Every structure is written in C-alpha cells, then in structure tokens.
Structure 1
C-alpha cells in the first residue's frame, strides 16, 4: 500500500536554485585538472601497469648456530631466498628478478665473493640488473630443539619426544640508486610437533612421525609470510623510486630500416620506453704486457627507443642520428622515457 508523504515548504527547493547549482557544478567539472593532479594520475597509471622490479639476494647465515640444519630444507641455504621470491611473486605486488640471473651476475662481476653483501654492493648489483630496489638480509635463528620424556614399570611404558623449530629472518631493502636502506623488517616462525611411543617388554609401538626438515620449512614459511606482508606495504614507496638504468651493454642483432633488434632483454633489465645509444667501436686499446683490452673507444651513431622487450631481446625504433647502424654495433642504455 502506497503512503503519501507531505513535504514541508521549508524543504522545497526553487528550480532556479537547482539550475544555478547544476551550472556551478558543471563549471567545476569542466575545469582542467591541475598539474599536480595530472602527475598523480600518471603516477597511479604507471603503478597499475608496471609493478616495481626488485631483486632478492642470498641471505647471510653466519649467525646460525648449527649451519648443518640448512641441509634439511629444500635447496639448502638458497632455499630461504627461493621461498621469499615465491611468496613475493604469489603476492602479485612486485616483479622479481630470477635467482639464476643474479647468480650469473655475481659470478661475472666477482661481487659478493666474501659471502656477505653490504648495501653498497647490493646497489651495484641492482644497477646491473636494472631494478629499483634490492632485498638483502640475514637468518639470525635457525634452530631445532628436541626434548624427551617418559617412564615405565614392569617393562611397560611410554616415551614422548617434543620437537620445536624456530626461525628468525632480518631483511633490509636497499635503494639501487643511492645505496640507502629504505626499510627493515623481521619475520619469525615457530612450529612444533609431539610424538609418543608405547613400549612393552622391549617392543615399541606408534612410530615417530617427526620430520625435522618439514618443521624447519614450515617455520621458515611463517617468518617469510610476515616479511612479505610487511613488504607489500612498501610497494608505493618503491614504485616512486627513480628507475635505475641497467649497466649491461647489448649488441645490435638485426637492422631493418628504422627497426633495430638487440640481443639483450628483460633478463638484463631492459624494458619498453628505454632509450639506448648505438655506438661503433673505433679502437680497442690493449695492455702491452698482458694483451688484455683495457679500454674501448667508440663513436656514437644515434639513439633507439625500445618499444617491445621480451626475456632475451629488445626491439626499438631509430629516433635520432644520421649514420646507419649495423649488426655488431654496441647499444648502451641511457635513460628511461
């Protein structure tokens, strides 16, 4: 049943007033956005289309009391870093560099040979990889404790074994461009298990289900879950960092008109919008004692803007320069447009 509602005259609005307000609102809507609003919108659009690119380096285990326990988890010492990479990728907030690529860079550049990587070395590695930030850290606790209890009478009894796995990980986030430590966080994990066995006249019943490796892995995953959750709160901070330029030169692999293809891609930190300098080697200066090339002199031919980049190659368009590039010319990253 419909009810009639009487509206007091005080609440009636003049059509002219409505028209005036509508006109005022339309003027506000038609005004162009401020430069600050445009910059903010562009920044938001960039974040929604491109995730911040980071790298996770090997963790330091020098503080672990019993390093042999690391062999109980999948991948050993590298397994902790792998678990963190997997968690970050599954979180969907970051693009994470493949661990194999990092190991290749460490070997090629002889970086981190001492086993411990400080912030400045991490930043150097990050520049080569072309990432905005690098995660370094240490495992400060990786313990397994066992306690046995039990008793019996007249040959019959029971025994209980309690196993506790405890893991603690400290992580630091390093700005690739400045080597500044942007953020620190810690994750802790604890998993336990209790097994009971019955004993009668020398015969045991109730086999132990203790799995030390599984307990340590679960405790590590719990610690990493906390770290990942905390890292996800920093995604906007990392996205706002200046994009680093990879310190890896490429070679021209193909030339077709104004279209150039290089032999380096996303694995080396190349990406769409990057501008590279195309240069030709004019002289190689060798050490007279060893014959080693100590300096390479080049002449700049022009610039190419990358438009399509996959894992192993980059395609770009010639945007400046009058010389004709050829296969084998050098390509040096310059800037990100």
Structure 2
C-alpha cells in the first residue's frame, strides 16, 4: 500500500495544521514588529516635536533650555543641541556683560566729565563777566586750569579703558628688568610723598627679569601707588617690595590707611566703582588687574593688621639669559 505524505493529506491532517500554525505565528510576529515599529516611531515623533519646540524657545531668546532624551536614536542629536545652546548661552552672557559695561562706561563718562567741565565753565564765566575782583581773577583761572587738568586725566583714563584690549594685543613683551622699571616709576612719586611726610619703604632687588612691555609695568605701578595716595585715608606709610617666589616675581604695595568696609573691598576691581567721596573714575585697579592677567599674572588685595591694605601683583619670571646668573631673593 502506497504511503501518503503529511503534505498530501487532506483537510484535518497534521501537515495542514502545521502549515496553518506556521502562517499564524509569522503573521503574529509581523504584527508585533509592526506595532513595535509604530510605537517606536510615535516616541521618536514626540521627541522630535519636543526638540522642535525647544529650538523655537532657543530661537526666541531662551538660551537656558536643555534637551534630554531616553531615545537612543535621538541622544546624539540631543548632545549636539545642548552644546549649541550652551554656546549660545555663553555668547548671550558675554553680550549682556558687554552691554552692561558699555552702559556703565557711558554713565561714568557723563557723570565724571560733567562735574569738572561745569566747574571750569563756571570759573571762566565768572572771570569773563567781571563777577570777581581783579585780584581774584588769577586764583579763579588757576582753579579752572586745575579742573581742566582733572578733566583731561579723566578722559585719558576712559580712553585707556576703552583701548585696553587693543593696547595689550599690540604691545610686544620684551625681556626687561622689572626692578629697574619700577624704580623709574617710583621716582615720579617722591615729591608728593615727601610733601605729605609719608614714610616710604622700598625694597627692590638689583635685577628681576620678566617678559613684559615696560609701559604696562609703569601703568600698573603708577596705578597702585596713586591708588594708595588718593584713596587710602589716614595714610602715613607706604611699603613697596619685590621678591621672588618660585617661578614668579611678587610685587607688594602695602599702606596703613583706615579700615575699608567689606562692600568697598569686594568692589575694588569692579570698573567704575568708587568709594563715596573718592576722586577718579574708578578704573585704575580694574585696568591694573586686566593688565596683570594679560601677561599671565594676577592682581589681588588683602587686609593688613591692624589697618591698611596690601596689593599683590604676580609676574612670571623670565629665565636667565645664557651666561647670566640667576638673580633675586627668594
């Protein structure tokens, strides 16, 4: 008798049932895969829609938004989006900082130029209109001249602040004797110190080599000494020293002025910030710190006991030239 294969069997046979179950399993698997794909697509669509909304927020000026996604396919895009937004945030922060700086600059110019200019015009008008006696005219003219010099000095300081970055970038950094350049600067202040009977103590080595333009050294040195002479109330002594500390030269300018309030101390290096009643534009220390950091150093301030402030400037030390012995006191 001829055997009949399972696939040749009629309805109800084992072969027919196996084929049916195989087809059903395949259909079920394809349905599940389609459902999973559809679910994945919906999740991806939601994530992309959320990303689009965040992009609209960022475009509208909200640079603090961040995009985090659990969808593995979207994570690289999310990381790039967050990097882009962080960059935009940094740019916006810098823009606002520059805008604040510009407004402070304009406000400070308006205030600091109006006062001496008004005084100059007032004294000159009094002389021109004959409102003062002849013997008083010279005193009025001398006062107007002094106010004019004050106005010029204020303009010079504003111009220096406006050109600060350009000046630092344009100036070369030759190898110079820092100690000798500081001695040249300090000589300028001996008459004022002697006139006010201020006890000046200077401790500088013979040589202290650094890489820095001599004009920048002079600007920082003058600013620190002028700051003590103009703003240290009750000043009777001034100590200036330069010593080596490892790979750096450290300049200290210390005064014995009256105690400074905490709010004044914390704002000393903030542009256009001045102690009430103090002269100047409030830029000298801000300029000095900017210059110190431009040559790889820094400018800091600390209280002295029992009174006074101590300003510290760091310069990276230049290596001795060939055949030249290392100098400086540790």
TM range (shorter): under 0.3
Length-normalised TM-score, structure 2:
0.21
> Rg: which structure is higher?
2
Larger helix fraction of residues: 2
Length-normalised TM-score, structure 1:
0.21
Larger strand fraction of residues: 1
The higher relative CO (CA closer than 8 Å, separation ≥ 6) is in 1
